[in-house]
Amino acid sequence: MASFKQLLVTLVQAKIAYDVIEKQIELIGESDDSDISTSLASQMIKARDAMETAKTGVLKKMTLVSNVVETAMLPGWYMVTFQDKDGSRDLLFAPVLSNSLYLIQRNVKEESDWKRSELDTLLPSVVDSYKQQAYEDTVAKKAIKALSEMGWVDWEEEVEDQTTESQIKTSYHAECRWVQRVMGISSEYKAADYRNDHIEEVREAIKRGFSTAERVWVAEDGVEYWFDPDNMMYVYDPSQQTIITVYESDFTFSKDINRSIVFSQLEEIKSAWDKLVDVKECHKDAEDQIAAEIGSIDDQIALLQAEIDLLSAKKQTKLSEKLESLRVMESARTQYTTEFNKLFRYNKISWGEPDV
């Protein structure tokens, strides 16, 4: 049986595949090519079925004390449960700002799932629009590439130009580091001067290099690492659409050996990440279980406190009864003394020897 992590990965993959096909259909519009239209329609049905199957598995395994789970495949993207109009439970796939995550989290033991209309109202204020745009750009590129491979239209180069030349920016830091590390001007002051005098040339060179790179990693904070054929690593922030810095992956060996080291280390990183995801999942399960146990203990404490309060009230009642009994006794003693004194006289005097 597939693990929860595997189901999440399958669901994300199915969602991406579905979105890419949907984008392809949008791009071709009302095509005269019936073969392509039929093929895409068939692919969409299969992708939708795969997505629904994975979604069902994820919903069954999602914890009962949380309505939100992060996808390991796309950091910062979450599956959020909600109640559909027909009362059934469904999932929404969205990138959520880390400082706004608490706004959509619910303890489903105490609160009901979001209604879709409620989520639609809340989402604009919590969604990471940069991650959303980056995802849509990636989907569009995949769709166009697939159409190009099918011989529909050669748009891939045009889209690449748009994303690397028009949208992507380079930071001052990246520009200076490029001059130092690629052009060999090691002095920071001289590098800064060269950058100022040849700023457009430097920016174009960085973007050209970046356009040949492949994304090799996405960090938990969403920062991406791109590696080009010349062993240059580009640190890219998609939220700002900016290349933050650039450096050569040089381990003092030949270019080929350095490149092999990079990909070997990537495997180590992937292995460590998978382990971290597993541990986080186990921690989340343990945390949920412990939270449930603490809740049970709190319930027991509340019951015991209620019993203590009841016993304290009973004790107070008995003390009141005791005081009332003493009051009655003292009242009776007072009455007795009064009646006694009406007949008998008794003075506390000294009963010593008489005088001689």
**Looking at the structure, do residues 315 and 229 belong to the same domain, yes or no?**
no
Note the pLDDT tens digit of each residue in 265-323: 999 998 898 888 888 878 877 887 888 888 889 889 988 999 999 999 999 999 999 99
HSE-up (13 A, CA, CB side) for residue 92: 22
Examine residue 158 and state whether it is found in any structural domain, yes or no. no
Over 50: is that where the pLDDT of 261 sits? yes
**Looking at the structure, do residues 131 and 24 belong to the same domain, yes or no?**
yes
Q: How confident is the model at residue 205 (pLDDT cuts 50, 70, 90)?
A: very high
**Looking at the structure, do residues 239 and 273 belong to the same domain, yes or no?**
no
Q: Domain range for residue 244?
A: 169-249
**Looking at the structure, do residues 245 and 278 belong to the same domain, yes or no?**
no
**Looking at the structure, do residues 94 and 220 belong to the same domain, yes or no?**
no
pLDDT for the residue numbered 130: 64
**Amino acid code (one letter) for 104:** I
Tell me how far apart the alpha carbons of residues 19 and 12 are, in angstroms, rounded to a whole number. Answer: 10
Tell me how far apart the alpha carbons of residues 214 and 227 are, in angstroms, rounded to a whole number. Answer: 5
Residue 33: partners with Cβ closer than 8 Å, 6 or more residues away: 152
Examine residue 47 and state whether it is found in any structural domain, yes or no. yes
Tell me how far apart the alpha carbons of residues 236 and 246 are, in angstroms, rounded to a whole number. Answer: 9
Examine residue 262 and state whether it is found in any structural domain, yes or no. no
**Looking at the structure, do residues 132 and 84 belong to the same domain, yes or no?**
yes
**Looking at the structure, do residues 235 and 286 belong to the same domain, yes or no?**
no
Average pLDDT, the chain: 83
Note the pLDDT tens digit of each residue in 139-174: 888 888 888 777 765 444 444 444 445 578 999 999
**Amino acid code (one letter) for 111:** E
Rg of the chain taking only CA atoms, in angstroms: 38
**Looking at the structure, do residues 126 and 189 belong to the same domain, yes or no?**
no
- Answer yes or no: are the C-beta atoms of 74 and 93 closer than 8 Å: no
pLDDT for the residue numbered 61: 76
Examine residue 149 and state whether it is found in any structural domain, yes or no. no
Of residues 165 and 1, more confidently modeled: 1
- Answer yes or no: are the C-beta atoms of 225 and 233 closer than 8 Å: yes
Tell me how far apart the alpha carbons of residues 215 and 237 are, in angstroms, rounded to a whole number. Answer: 12
Over 50: is that where the pLDDT of 236 sits? yes
Examine residue 254 and state whether it is found in any structural domain, yes or no. no
Note the pLDDT tens digit of each residue in 35-77: 777 888 888 888 888 888 888 888 887 765 578 888 766 777 8
Phi/psi of residue 216, nearest 5 degrees = -110, -15
pLDDT for the residue numbered 257: 93
- Answer yes or no: are the C-beta atoms of 246 and 174 closer than 8 Å: yes
Angstrom distances, CA of residue 351 to CA of 190, 346, 347, 354, 355: 122, 13, 11, 9, 12
**Looking at the structure, do residues 52 and 111 belong to the same domain, yes or no?**
yes
Examine residue 157 and state whether it is found in any structural domain, yes or no. no
Over 80: is that where the pLDDT of 352 sits? no
Tell me how far apart the alpha carbons of residues 247 and 254 are, in angstroms, rounded to a whole number. Answer: 16
Interval 86-95 mean pLDDT = 85
Examine residue 274 and state whether it is found in any structural domain, yes or no. yes
The dihedral built from the CA positions of residue 317, 323, 326 and 332, taken in this order, carries a sign that is negative
Examine residue 260 and state whether it is found in any structural domain, yes or no. no
**Looking at the structure, do residues 48 and 17 belong to the same domain, yes or no?**
yes
**Looking at the structure, do residues 239 and 276 belong to the same domain, yes or no?**
no
Count of structural domains within the chain: 3
Interval 115-137 mean pLDDT = 81
Domain end, chosen from 249, 278, 308, is at 249
- Please work out, in degrees rounded to the nearest 5, the angle formed at the alpha carbon of residue 53 by the alpha carbons of 16 and 50: 40
Tell me which residue of 27, 24, 5, 6 sits closest to 16, measured CA to CA.
24
Angstrom distances, CA of residue 286 to CA of 9, 63, 174, 262, 291: 21, 11, 43, 35, 8
Tell me how far apart the alpha carbons of residues 124 and 118 are, in angstroms, rounded to a whole number. Answer: 11
**Looking at the structure, do residues 236 and 286 belong to the same domain, yes or no?**
no
**CB atoms near residue 232 (< 10 Å):** 21
Phi/psi of residue 286, nearest 5 degrees = -65, -40
Domain end, chosen from 140, 158, 192, is at 140
